Amino acid sequence: MHKWLCGAGLALALAAPAMAQKPGDHLAKPLTGPDVKVVKEAVDTVKQPGECTVVFTIGKDGKPKDLKPTCSVDAYVPYVERAMATVTYDPEVFDGEVFETEGVKQPFSFGVQKAEASDTPPVPVVALDSGDIGRAIARVNKTGSCNMSYVVGADGVPKDVKPNCTPQRFDPWIKKAVEKMRFKPGMKDGKAVDWPLTDQPLTLTAQR
């Protein structure tokens, strides 16, 4: 039996306002992930390792649109498009208005080997707080970006957080925001494990 692996990352390129927010305002939050049945079908059919990244926009209805998949093995492209059809978000809300979120990235990692168990990546249950992001922008008073890396511990708590922000003055504020996130931990061979997440982009845009 082939082991199918889908490393589904949690990268979001998010814009957050630098002003007080109303109750109910929030950044886009993932609700459901890619269809794992399609991922298994892809590995069983293509039968070779591969990496894909899908860049897309979260529509006001919470569904991905304008998908732009890039895969190391072209045969995986139609499968990741099908897998993304089940992805849903609670869309971004600011000042009571629903917004689209552009530049969201969903990575996939396909591996094939003999095994009985499947590995599953961490799933966020408490996302980045838009209020923390807005306060960070207000304090630094600049537009910036981060390429975050951190480890989701077996307890679901982020650790070893490296914000990698430009300008660097964002780093301590974004580090604190990431440390408040909580995850359903990643699983390997049926056990919760530490799971590194890298190249997690975050766009920091001050509202004018």
Question: Model-level pTM greater than 0.75?
Answer: no
pLDDT at 57 > cutoff 90 = yes
The residue to which tokens 């492209």 are assigned: 77
pLDDT at 163 > cutoff 90 = yes
2-204 maps to CATH 2.40.160.10: no
CB 199 within 8 A of CB 11: yes
Distance of CA 110 to CAs 8, 9, 30, 54, Å? 10, 12, 21, 14
Confidence of residue 157 (pLDDT cuts 50, 70, 90): very high
Lowest mean pLDDT among 111-115, 145-149, 184-188: 111-115
Nearest Cα neighbor of 12 from 179, 162, 110, 130 is: 130
Name the DSSP class of 120.
Answer: B
Confidence of residue 25 (pLDDT cuts 50, 70, 90): confident
